[in-house]
A and B are shown apart, each in its own frame.
Chain A
Amino acid sequence: EDKVVQSPLSLVVHEGDTVTLNCSYEVTNFRSLLWYKQEKKAPTFLFMLTSSGIEKKSGRLSSILDKKELFSILNITATQTGDSAIYLCAVASGSARQLTFGSGTQLTVLP
Chain B
Amino acid sequence: NAGVTQTPKFRILKIGQSMTLQCTQDMNHNYMYWYRQDPGMGLKLIYYSVGAGITDKGEVPNGYNVSRSTTEDFPLRLELAAPSQTSVYFCASSYSIQGGNTIYFGEGSWLTVV
Residues of chain A whose beta carbon lies under 8 Å from any beta carbon of chain B: 4, 6, 9, 31-32, 34, 41-45, 48, 50, 88, 90, 92, 96-104, 106
Contacts and interface: CB of A to CB of B under 8 A. Distances in A.
B40 A42 contact: no
B26 to A, nearest CB: 16
Decide if the interface of chain B is mainly helix, strand, loop or mixed.
loop
A100 to B, nearest CB: 8
Interface of B: 31, 33, 35, 40-45, 48, 50, 56, 58-59, 90, 96-98, 100, 102-103, 105-108
A6 B42 CA distance: 10
B107 to A, nearest CB: 5
A99 B90 contact: no
B98 A42 contact: no
